[in-house]
Each structure stands twice: as C-alpha cells, then as structure tokens.
A and B are shown apart, each in its own frame.
Chain A
Amino acid sequence: MNSIAAWLLTLAGAAALIALGCAVRSGRGWLISSLSASGFALASAAVVLTTGDGWTWQAGFHLGTAGIHLRMDAMSALFLALLAVLGGAGALYSREYWNEWEHPRSAPAGRLWWSSLLLSMALVLVSSDGLQFLIAWELFALSAWRLIILDSRHAAVRQAGWLYFAASHAGTLCLFGFFASLAARTGSWDLGPLRDQSDFAPLLWLALIGFGLKAGLFPLHIWLPSAHANAPSHISAILSGVAIKMGIYGLVRFTGWLPLPAGLPWVVASLGVVSAVLGVVFALGQHDLKRLLAYHSLENIGIILIGLGFALLAAEQGNVVWGQLALAGGLLHVWNHGLFKALLFLGAGSVVHATGTREMSRLGGLWRTMPWTTALFGLGAAAIAGLPPLNGFVSEFLVYLGLFEATLAHGPSAWAAIPAAVLLGMTGALALACFVKVCGVVFLGAPRSPAAEGAHECGRLMRTAMGVLAAACVAIGLLPVVFWPAVARVVEAWQPAWTARQPAPAPLEVLTFVHVVLALLAGAVGAELWRHVHRGRVGRAVTWDCGYAAPTARMQYTASSFAEIITGWFVWILRPVRHEHPVEAVLPVRAMRSGHTPETVLEGIIEPSARGVLRVSTAVRRLQHGRVQSYLLYTLIGLAALALLIVMHRAG
C-alpha cells in the first residue's frame, strides 16, 4: 500500500475536476489547474515507479452490481506518467494555438472536452472493475470524438469524426463482449490476475480486436489517419501520444492477467511487424504533413507490438532473458513514441498555424521565419527515425537485443525473430527516408508558396510546450539507465515470475556512456567547424543550378518525387492514384501530373463491403413501404407458407 501515491493522485484528480469545472468560463484558471493536475499525477506515477509499490482502493458502497474499485500499479503508472506529461504540454500549447480570439466558440468547448478526455483516460488506467472500465472507456471515446470534430465547419473533419466514432464503437462492442463474458464466468466485475483459469484464454482474441482498433494496428487502423490529420494539432498530439496507447495498455494489461490462447503471441508479433513496415510505407506516400505523421503512429505501434509479441512468445516458451528485453523495449517505446510524436504533431501545428496549410508541396524554407520550430521538429524527426543519441534509438535497441537473443536461443521463435529483426532494420531506414523528406520539403530549401514565405514563428507558450517534450526526448536518450528501473518494474508487474528487479543490462549502461560522449563530441566538433569556417571567408551565392538562368522554387524536389523510388517498390499495396494531362503538342498549352495515395484498407476493403451491405439493405427496405394492402398480402403469404409447412410435415 502506497499512501503517498494515492494522496498525490487524489490531489491530481481534484485539480483535474477543478479544471473541468472552470474550463468554459476561465481559460487561465483552467490552465493553472490542468498543469497542477499534471504535476500531481506525474509525481504520483513517479512515486509508484520508483518504489514499485502500488495501491488499491475499494469504495464501501455499490452502484448496482458494480462497486468502485481503483488500483494503481507500475503498469498504470507508466501510462499515467505519459498522460500527465502530454496532458500538461498539450494544455499549455492549446492556450495559444486554439485561443479565444481565433476560435471564440470552440475554444471553451475544446478545454472542457480536453479535461474530460484526460480524466476519463486516467480513470481507465486505474480501473480495476470491468463495468467501471467500460464506462470510462466510453467516456474517453466520446470526449476524443468531440475533440476531433472541434472544428466541425469542414466536411472532412465531420467525416473523420464519424469514422472514428464508428470504429471506436465497433471496438467497444468487442470489449463489452470481453468484459461481460469475463464477468459472467467469474461472477464479478472485479478485474485481476486469472492466469490459472485456462478456459478464459480464447477471450483474449476479443480483447485483441477491441484494443487493437483503438491502438490502430494494421489492418484495424482505418480511422486513424483521417482523425489525426483533421483534428486540431494539440488533439492529434494527445490522440497519437496517449489515446492509441490506451489500446496498448489494454493489451499489455490483459495478456499479463489472462492465460494465453495458442497462437496469440505469433499473431501479435506478426501484426507488429506488418504494422511497422506498412505504416512507414504508407507514410512515405503521403503529402499531407499531419496524415504522414499519423501513419507513423502505425509504424511505432508496430514496434511496440513486436516487443509485446516476442515477450508473449518468451512467456509461452519459458525463456526469460529475451522476453524481458523485448517487453522492456516495447514499453519504453510507449513513452518514447508518445514524447516525440506529440512533439512532431505540435511542430506540425505551428506550421499549420503559421501558413494555413498542411500540404507539404506548398511549404518549404520555413527555417528562416520559424527557427525554433525547425530545430525542435528536426530533433523530433531524428528521434522518431531511431537515431542515437536520442530516445527512439534506446527503445529500438532493447527490442533488437530481444530479437537477437531470441535468434541465438535457436528455438522455434528464432524463425520469427530473424525476419522481424531484418524488417525492423528496414523500418528504421524507411522512417529515416521519410523524415528527411518531411524536414527537407517543409523546413529547408526555398518557400514554394506565398503562404510559406509569410510564415511566422509560434508564440512562447507553444515553444515552451515543444521544448519540454524535446527535453524529455533528450533526457531518455542520454540517460537510459535512469529510466530502466521504471520499465523493469512494469515488466515485473506484467509477469511476476520474471523477477526483473535487476540492475540495468550492461549494454544499456555502455549505451548511456556512448550517447553522452557522442552528444558532447558532436557539439564540440560542430562548434569547432563553425568557428573555423567563420574565421575564414564566407561567401553567399545561389545554389548550383547548372547555370540555368531562371530557377524557381517549384523546381525543387517535392515530397512525392523524393519518395518515388520507395513508393515504386510498394505499388502493390499503396495503389497510388495518378491524375495526368500529358504533354501533347510541340508547344503544349497545358500539362499536369499529380497523384495521391489512398487509404488502401479503407477504400479497397471496408468501403466496398459497406456499400455491399447498404445495397442489400436498400433492396430489403423495398419490402417496407407503408402500403397496407401489401402488408396484408405478406400476412396472407406467410400464413399460406405456414399452412403448407404443417401439411407437408403431416404428410412426411
């Protein structure tokens, strides 16, 4: 029992309720109480993660058949810490980004639903009762939906909201089935470890679909790109940083508590690999900045699931060493992805705020007017591409180590670990390609449109929010050893048989050293080169253009031309759509060529089948038209059929 953590969380809850209360009337009060709620929640999570002691609390009274049952252990604390950091940063950012002056109507509503989203997600994390979990889950889904459609003037936003709403409820349906069957079999809504009840195992398949829809793993990601792209950017940040991690939380939580059905580890690991590779491939095909970032969520969820999948394989085969490493890597990637993806979405928000467009081929050269955003976005890009010495590399390193150890163990899981390791390597290289493209096209070079030329740097609050997230990315990157115990405690909470209370693995300690040295050296050499160059003569001239007399900004490489080589390899899944008016005469009057990459699963599978269902229902609906004569005829036919059946039965 850890009463300090419990009291801190109570304080956080109280502050969050105050924030909810004053969200509509007072923006300043809302910000202060939101930030203090974040601070208390972070402190509470930190206490649980450092001491390893959780707490539980059960109300004395009952609501119908369900009581109120809260529980916080290291696993809840891990996700709660991320929620607290991103919630605080997002609140700070939104004060300036979605302010009263530009959005008089939706700003108060946005604050209200923001607080309600954060509260309901926190409630999901500490729920230890099935019914309460479902209620909190539904509240969380609804708040997220209201936030996605905050700017509901645009049809695209409403459509994205509808898709999210539908997908989210399909998931909730599965979860309802999951929790209800669990409660029916155990006789209570209480949740807890049930590892020895082997007949519960098949229920995890329902959980995989329900939580998988929320996490957005391939091919259940259909709602994710449009929702993330069309929501205001601080909403995209919290959706991508925390909301989809709720699905991961559910998967990690219940795979730890329930017995595993045969085959689930293999399915989770392969879904992870597929999501990772295809997520980044789809991202490369996009030219909408925020849509591209949304597909990268798919990639990173894939990396997390590779970690979880191999941990499940290890649990099944009783191999501790690589299971721990893979799971620790996956869990650390939950934090890392939350941090750098939120940073990138907030950076994208600054770009959209300054230029009014998300279309990358209309941007360019923003570093001149937006140096802070450029630097912070560049840092986030290096982190998400998994480059040392930043945090993305640390978690990928742990996952890789798990995969390599699994290969050396020579068991059946090595057959999965070899392709997973190779494909993870390719994912990393693809992500690097994608973020060179984003940074190069959006921030570097020459502005491609007047909007990009007239951009302006974002304000202080927005910069602070991004700075906090960037600092967290650097901290985890440079000092991974400090964060290891927290992750190790969660591994232990997941599988108590793996007593992970051990010092950080030796490679992680060396990695810490390597990262610090690398960062120092890069700084020193960079400064020296800079000094040396500026001691000499520095001339400025136009970029080498082969002596062409009239270069324009439109001659630069664009997002699609940059990605063309790689998207060419993946035409079979991307199925890009091209619109072309070829060059015809000697002096052509007009010629154009453009293209976009549709969402293959949504437009190729879900929409046609939905149209099929609609067509059948429309055909059936013709029977219902309100003419009494026909209804009498139906009755007559029905009676005759029944009579015929009876007669035939008698005869037979």
Chain B
Amino acid sequence: MMNPVSEMPLRLAVWLLLAPLLPGIVNKVKAWVAGRRGPPVLQLYFDLAKLWRKGVVVSTLASPGFLLGPAVAWVAVVGAALLMPLGPSLAGAGFRGDFLVLIYLLALARFCTAWAAMETGSAFEGMGAAREVSYAVLAEAAIIAAVLSLGVQTGSLSLSTMLAPAAGAGAALLAAGLFVVLLAENCRVPFDDPNTHLELTMIHEVMVLDHSGPPLAAILHGASVKLLLFSVLLVQAVLPIGQFAPWAGAGVLAAGVLGVTVGVGFVESLLARLAFRRVPLLLTTAFLLCLFALLVAWKGGPS
C-alpha cells in the first residue's frame, strides 16, 4: 500500500494512458468476428494525436461554452476515475460516500456534454442530448442500487473497502446489472451504435456531431476513460480483488478488464441495436437485477 498522495501520479498515468486501448480492443474483436483485419488496436492513440494538432470548426451559433463544455466534462470523468481504486496496490485513500462523488462527477460530465450539444441549435444534437439525459435517469437508479448492495454486503461506504471482497451470493445478478449499465452509459450496442452514421438513431455520437479538433479529442479520450472506469468497477465489484497479493491483484484486474472489453466486442458483433422504445425496458431490467442483488446481500450480508 503506497501513500495515497504519492501514488496519485501513477494512478493518473494508468487512467490516461491505458484508457484509449479499450475501444481499440473492442474494434479488433468486432473485426475478428466479422472476419476482417480491422484497424490497429492503437488506432485511437493515432486519432487523438491527429485531432490534437488539427484546427477547429465551430458552429456560428455556439458560445464559448461549446469549447469549455468538453474540457470540464473531461476533468469530471478523469476526476471520477481517480476516485476509483485500481486493485489492492493502487486502492487510493477513499472516504465514506466517495462513490456518490463519483456518480455525480459523471453527472457533471453529462451536463457539460449535453450543454455543448445544445449550443449548436441542431435538432439532431437536441435529440441526442434528450436521449442521453433521459436514459441516465434509469441508469442512475441501477448504479445506486448496485453500490447499495455492495455497501450492505461489506458494511462499508467507501469504494476501496466495498470493492475489495467478492460480491457474495448476488454476484451474478450484480454483474449482469452492471454490465447492462456499462453498455448504456458508454453508448454501446444494444443502446447505441458507435459505428452508425445515421444521426436519427444515435445518442452519444450525435451529441458530438459538431465537435472537431482538440475538443473532439478531449471527448473521445473522456469516453474511453469512462469505458475503462465502468469495466474496472464491474470487475472489482464481482471479483475478490482485495484478497490477492498486490501485483497478482493488478494482473487479475487487467485480465478482468480485458475480459469485459472482449465481452463488449462480442455483444456488439452478435446483437443488433434495440428499438428506442425498448431501451427503458432493458435499463429497468438492469435496475431490477441490481435491486435483487441488494436484497440477496441484505439477507446474507453482515448485520
């Protein structure tokens, strides 16, 4: 266990540098299933470097908030990621209720992204923003039920102790619920299709339609950090990461995240996007799964 302050740069480096790998892995899996070669795993790094050097085209309607929104959203997502423990060796300090700060930082990111989308006055982007903030209501309920179940299970209110042991009897329920939330919050199939270019059917991609250059780089990087954040949460919620030796724990965590990412790739290859009418249904199912996990924890957890 390192000093929480001195380990901060290391944690920051892990989040910032490893996150763009995940979309690359997902795309590789999709290409493999479809029998294509696909883009290189490191494609997002090249894209980010290219976008950072490019100029920007801004809508004539947009205010300075259009550029500041992505910046604040990026800070919020990275801040949320820094609150998440990274296995036993980089567990961070943690405090009672830190997961609330995490959830609300993600909400802050959502607010800023949706604000920037509304800047353009485009009906498409309004549509995307409306979908994003609406579905988040159900996702939020599911996440709160999930962390409550972890809290009841471990008798703790801080992420580093909540996530260390295994999820107990309700692990399968919790894993299924959190995986659905992961897909919804990161706008993956079956909620959203990151590959489509039909504006009417998109959520997240349509919100960032008018962004370009460095702000778009910030958005893409933030999205990859968010995907990593949810994968890490899912793996640590289910596996007893805290019981491994520090480096073994880190290895198990990395393997778990890789597994989740490959899973996302398979889901994306094998499923079609849901009709929008069905989205609330699936999210409600996720909420119910987390709620059942909570009830299981309630019956079996320490009293």
Chain A positions near chain B (C-beta within 8 angstroms): 364-365, 367-368, 371, 374, 378, 382, 385-388, 393, 397, 400-401, 404-405, 407-408, 410, 418, 421-423, 425-426, 428-430, 432-433, 435-437, 439-441, 444-446, 505-507, 510-511, 514, 517-518, 521-522, 525-526, 528-530, 532-533, 536-546, 553, 555-557, 561-566, 569
Contact = CB atoms under 8 A, between A and B. Distances in A.
A445 B107 contact: no
Contacts of A514: 79, 101
10 tightest A-B CB contacts, nearest first: A557-B126, A440-B118, A445-B121, A537-B55, A433-B133, A565-B134, A425-B144, A429-B137, A526-B71, A429-B140
For chain B, the bracket of interface size reads: 35 or more
Interface in B84-135: 93, 95-98, 100-101, 103-105, 107-108, 110-111, 114-115, 117-127, 129-131, 133-135
Contacts of A518: 75-76, 79, 105
Interface stretch (B170-178, B211-219, B265-273): B211-219
B71 A529 contact: yes
Given A526-B72, A530-B67, A541-B57, A556 B121 contact: yes
B168 interface: no
B196 interface: no
Chain B CB count within 10 A is highest, among A371, A422, A514, A546, for A422
A272 to B, nearest CB: 17
A181 to B, nearest CB: 42
Given A444-B65, A532-B214, 14 more contacts: A374-B63, A397-B97, A418-B294, A423-B141, A425-B140, A426-B138, A433-B136, A444-B63, A446-B121, A529-B67, A533-B214, A540-B59, A541-B60, A544-B122
A388 B117 CA distance: 20
Given A432-B107, A529-B218, A538 B58 contact: yes
A423 B110 CA distance: 19
Nearest to A424: B144
B163 to A, nearest CB: 16
A463 to B, nearest CB: 18
Contacts of A555: 123
B107 A429 contact: yes
Majority secondary structure, A binding face: helix
Contacts of B52: 532
13 contacts: A386-B104, A401-B96, A426-B137, A430-B137, A432-B111, A433-B137, A435-B111, A506-B96, A514-B101, A525-B75, A529-B214, A537-B56, A540-B58
Contact of A418 (B97, B119, B134, B148): B148
A368 B60 CA distance: 11
B107 A553 contact: no
B276 to A, nearest CB: 8
A393 to B, nearest CB: 6
B141 A422 contact: yes
A378 B55 contact: no
Contacts of A556: 121-123, 126
B255 interface: no
A522 B199 CA distance: 30
A386 B218 CA distance: 24
Contacts of B119: 440, 444-445
Contacts of A533: 56, 67, 213-215
B289 interface: no
A444 B214 CA distance: 22
Contact of B129 (A368, A386, A393, A440): A440
Given A533-B215, A538-B58, A404 B97 contact: yes
B83 to A, nearest CB: 8
A410 B134 CA distance: 32
A408 B155 contact: yes
B145 interface: yes
B1 interface: no
B74 interface: yes
Given A385-B111, A397-B97, A433-B137, A543 B56 contact: no
B122 A545 contact: yes
Contacts of A541: 57-60
Interface in B46-63: 52-61, 63
Nearest to A430: B137
A550 B120 CA distance: 16
